[in-house]
A and B are shown apart, each in its own frame.
Chain A
Amino acid sequence: LAKTTQPISMDSYEGQEVNITCSHNNIATNDYITWYQQFPSQGPRFIIQGYKTKVTNEVASLFIPADRKSSTLSLPRVSLSDTAVYYCLVAEGGAGSYQLTFGKGTKLSVIP
Chain B
Amino acid sequence: GAVVSQHPSWVICKSGTSVKIECRSLDFQATTMFWYRQFPKQSLMLMATSNEGSKATYEQGVEKDKFLINHASLTLSTLTVTSAHPEDSSFYICSEIGTGTDTQYFGPGTRLTVL
CB-defined interface of A42-74 with B at 8 Å, one 1/0 digit per residue? 111110010000000000000000000000000
In the complex, the chain B residue whose C-beta lies closest to that of A96 is B51
Give the contact-size bracket for chain B. 20 to 34
Least CB distance, A84 to chain B, in whole angstroms: 14
B32-77 contacts to A (CB < 8 Å): 32, 34, 36, 42-46, 49, 51
Compute the total of residue contacts between A and B using a CB distance below 8 Å. Answer: 60
Q: How many A residues have CB within 8 A of the partner chain?
A: 22
- Selected from B1, B44, B49, the residue in CB contact (under 8 A) with A102 is B44
Say whether A49 contacts B1, CB under 8 Å.
Answer: no
In the complex, the chain A residue whose C-beta lies closest to that of B31 is A95
- Selected from A34, A43, A91, the residue in CB contact (under 8 A) with B93 is A43
Least CB distance, B32 to chain A, in whole angstroms: 6
Q: Using a CB–CB distance below 8 Å, which chain B residues touch chain A?
A: 1, 4, 6, 31-32, 34, 36, 42-46, 49, 51, 91, 93, 95, 97, 99, 102-109, 111
Q: Using a CB–CB distance below 8 Å, which chain A residues touch chain B?
A: 32, 34, 36, 41-46, 49, 87, 89, 91, 95-96, 98, 100-105
